[in-house]
Amino acid sequence: MIEAAVDALAVVLRLDRLAFIFLGTGIGLMVGIIPGLGGVVGMSVLLPLIFGMDPITGIAMLVALTAVTQTADTFASVLLGVPGTSGSQATILDGYAMSQQGRSAEALGAGFSASILGGLFGAFSLFVVLWVARPIILAFGSPELFMLSLLGISMVAILSRGATVRGLIAASLGMLLSSAGVAPMVADFRFTFGSFYLYSGYKLALIGLGLFAIPELIDLLVRNTSISRGIALSGSVWDGVRSTLRNKPLVLRSSGIGTIVGIIPGLGGSVVDWIAYGTAKQTIRGNTFGDGDVRGVIAPESANNAKEGGALVPTILFGIPGSSTMAVFLGGLVLMNVTPGPSMLNEDLDVTLSIVWSLAIANAVGAIGCLLAARQVAKLTSIPAKTIGPFLIVVFVFAAYQSSNSWVDVAVFLTLGTVGWVMKEAGWPRPPLLVGFVLGGAAERYLWISAARYGWTWLSRPGVISIGLLTLAILVWGFVAQPGKSTDKNFGNEELSQ
C-alpha cells in the first residue's frame, strides 16, 4: 500500500499535472473569496475543461478546486462578516469580532493554518478510512441521519447561550423557511406564494448573506469608522499560526468531527462548522467565544477543510455524493470514464491515491498562498466605511443575485437583511435561524424515509437512542447551565460576562 502511495505521488508530481493542480487551486481561491459563489460554481466551470483529459490530471484539478474553496472563504468571513461559502458560517462569529478589534491578520493566519492542518488531516483520513469506511457508512441509515440532524439543531442551545428560547424560536423560523418549496414525500408545493421562484425553496447562500451582510453593513456605515473601528491593526499572521499550533488538540478534534460529518452522506458541509464550533465552545473552559476568541476561528476552519477528505469517501466508495459539490465532482468522474465504487480500490487504485495526494498538495498550496496574501488583504479592514461601503453594497447585491440569477434574489436578500437587522437590534441570535434552515430540510426528509421504511421500530435502534440522549443532554445543558442575558450586538451568541 505504501509503495502504491509513493508511486501515486510520483504520478501527481509530474510538472503538467502540478500545473493543472495550481490552476484548479487558483480558480478555487477565486470562487472561495467571492461571497455567494462556491465549489459548485467552480466545478461547473471546470467540467467542460476536463473533458478529454487523462483521468488523473482532470480529477486532480477538480480535487484541488474543491479543497481550497473552503480555505479562501475565510477572507469574506473574517474581513466582511459574511459567510464566503456555506462551510464558513461559524467562522464569522469570532473571525469578524477579531477584525473589529484590529486583529484580522491574526484571525486569517489562524484560519489558514487551521485549514492546512484540517485539509491534511482530511487527506490522511481519506487514505486510511477508504479501506474501513464501508461498514461505518452502511451503519448510518435514515433514522440515524434524522437524529444527527436533530443533534445539529440542538447545537442552537450552545450557539445561543443565554438566549436559548430566542435561539430556538429563530431555529423554528429557519426550519419553517426550509419547508418552503416542494415537500419531500409528496408532490405538494408549500409556502410558495404561487411563485415559480419558490418552487425550489429559499437558497442557503441568500439566507446567510441577508442575515449577516446587511446588519453588518448598516453597523459599519452608521458608525462611519473602518471595520477595525479605527483600532490600529495589531497581531500578525504568524501570531495566528502560532495560536493554531498551540491548539493542536482542538485542531485534531475539529478535523476529526469534520471528517466524520463529511463521510456521512446527506448532512453536507453546511453544518460541519456549526458542530465543530458548538463542540469547541462547549468543551473549552473559560473561552470567550463570540468576543473574538481565536479558537472560535480554528475549530470551524479545520473542520470544514477536513470535511472535504471525508466527503470523498462515500463519493469514491459508493458513488454517493456527500454534498452538492461532490455531486458535480461525481459528474466529473463519469465524464472521464471513472466509475465510482469498490473498483476504485482495485483497478483504479492509482486514480484514488492521486486524489489523496492532490487533496493534500492543493490544501498546502492554497493555504500558503492565502497566508502570504493575508497581511495585505487584512488592511481592507482599516479603510473608512464611507469608502469601502459602496463597494461592499455592489459585491453583496451581485452575490445575492448569483443564487438563481433572478431579481427576486435581491428582494429576498433585502427582506432577510431587514429581518436580520431587527433581530440584531432585539438581541435575537441569528446563527440558529441558519442552522434550523440548513438542517430542517434534511430532518424532514429522513424522518419520512424512516417512518415509511421502519414504522415506529426505528426509535429502538441503538444509534438512534445514543444520538437522542446526546441531543437531550445538549438541550438540557443549554437551558440549565448558562442562564443570563444575551445580546446580538456582535453576532448573537455571546453572553454578558458577569
Partner 1 sequence: MTQRDGESIDAAETVGRSAAQNERIENIANIILSLFVLVVFVWAWSESVAFRPQAQTFPRVVIGIGVVLLTAHVVIAAPGWLRGFRNTRAPSSLWMSKRKELAVLGTVLGFALLVAVTGPYFGVAGFLLVSQRHALRQSGRKRLTIALAVVIFLGLLLVIEASLGVEWPQPIIDVSRLVR
Spatial contact of 297 and 95, defined as CB atoms under 8 Å apart: yes
**Least Å from the CB of residue 372 to partner 1:** 20
**Which conformational region is residue 185 in: left (phi greater than 0), alpha (psi within -120 to 50 degrees), or beta?**
alpha
Lookup result for grid cell 502560532: 242
CB of 440 to partner 1, least distance (A): 7
| The length of the chain, given as a count of residues | 498
> How far apart are CB 238 and partner 1 at their closest, in Å?
27
Q: Which is nearer to partner 1, 266 or 314 (CB)?
A: 266
Nearest distance, CB of residue 354 and partner 1, angstroms: 26
The letter for the amino acid at 62 is L
| Least separation in angstroms between CB 21 and partner 1 | 18
Q: Which residue, 14 or 386, is less far from partner 1 as judged by CB?
A: 386
Residues that bind partner 1 (CB under 8 A): 27, 30-31, 34, 37, 41-42, 44-45, 165-166, 168-169, 172-173, 175-176, 179, 183, 185-186, 188, 190-191, 214, 217-218, 221-223, 225, 291, 386-387, 389-391, 393-394, 396-398, 401-402, 405, 407, 410, 414, 417-419, 421-423, 425-428, 440, 443-444, 447-448, 487, 489, 494, 496-498
Q: How far is the CB of 400 from partner 1 (least distance, A)?
A: 9
Contact 433, 426 (CB under 8 A): no
Query: Cβ closer to partner 1: 140 or 146?
Result: 146
Closest CB 228 distance from partner 1, rounded Å: 14
Of 11 and 231, CB closest to partner 1: 231
The answer to whether the CB of 306 falls within 8 A of the CB of 255 is: yes
**Residues sharing a CB contact under 8 Å with residue 172, sequence separation 6 or more, in sequence order:** 436
CB of 308 to partner 1, least distance (A): 20
* Nearer CB in complex with partner 1: 85/259: 85
When the beta carbons of 20 and 121 are compared against partner 1, the nearer one is: 20
Q: Which residues pair with 39 in a beta bridge?
A: none
The residue (of 37 and 467) whose beta carbon lies closer to partner 1 is: 37
Least Å distance between CB 298 and partner 1?
23
> Would you say 226 or 259 has its CB closer to partner 1?
226
Closest CB to partner 1 among 131 and 191? Answer: 191
Per the CB < 8 A criterion, the answer to whether 282 and 250 are in contact is no
- Of the pair 132, 496, the CB lying nearest partner 1 is at 496
Provide, rounded to whole angstroms, the least separation between the CB of residue 480 and partner 1.
15
- CB closer to partner 1, 307 vs 424: 424
Give min distance, CB of 173 to partner 1, in A. Answer: 6
